[in-house]
Amino acid sequence: MSASNYVIAISSVSGGGKTTLVKRAASLLKGTTLFFDEYDSVSDYPSDVRKWVDEGADVNEWKTPQFARDLATLKRGESIISPRDGTNILPSEYIVIEEPMGRARAEMTDLIDFVVVIDTPFEIALTRRLLRDFMPMFPEDIEKATREELAARMDQIGTNLRGFLEGYLYVSRDIYIAVIEQAKRSCDLVLDEILPPDTLAQQLVAAVKDKPRTRYTGCMQQL
């Protein structure tokens, strides 16, 4: 194992396919995975995201010190403890991480060797979020539920869905635009999300293995 392992960061909007691609690319590379969202409880994000966008969307205000420390530890070839379940995470030659902002955040810039942005149309990403987070009850659950339970569940879905869509129109979409634009400015590869996940993973692996192991030089490739 090398003294400094190779870190691949995958970026996209929420619902853009980051998690799927992280897992499939790591499987092909026999690599280790690390996920941005698993560090929510030990990270510091802007309290007013609408104000954050309006004031220029400085990605350095999204502070994830534990995420950065754990990644640096894995990159050195040492193991870490998972913040999600307390299990031991072992390093490997390739470390594939979920990092929505690519190498744009200063605390992550020097830790990342290769950045991939998944170019996902916003309507596809939004549809995925709706299907994932607001699916109705499964048929077997509906059969067991009382009329009152069904009414309460549908009311809850409606309330949550309205809140989500209002938030999307008010600020979430603007956050995604600001973040993905900054990630693209210093990425190494942009992938077309319309392609199947396995194809995207294969393209990512091919691009990583074809690229000399040097620091980012400003070149962006479109597949």
The verdict on residue 117 lying in a domain is yes
pLDDT band at 3 (very low <50, low <70, confident <90, very high): low
Cα dist from 209 to 19, 26, 201, 220, whole Å:
21, 13, 12, 16
Residue 157 has pLDDT above 90, yes or no: no
- The answer to whether the CB of 112 falls within 8 A of the CB of 9 is yes
Distance CA 23, CA 198 (A): 10
Share of the chain above pLDDT 70, in %: 92
The verdict on residue 146 lying in a domain is yes
pLDDT band at 77 (very low <50, low <70, confident <90, very high): very high
pLDDT tens, position by position, 162-219: 999 999 999 999 999 999 999 999 999 999 888 899 999 999 999 998 876 655 545 4
b/e for 68-101, b at 16 or more Cβ within 10 A? bebbbebbeeeebeebeeeeebebbebbbbbbbb
Specify the number of domains making up the chain: 1
Enclosing domain of residue 123 = 6-222
The verdict on residue 176 lying in a domain is yes
The verdict on residue 1 lying in a domain is no
- The answer to whether the CB of 89 falls within 8 A of the CB of 81 is yes
Q: Which CATH number characterizes residue 82's domain?
A: 3.40.50.300
Average pLDDT, the chain: 90
Query: Taking the model in full, what pTM does it have?
Result: 0.86
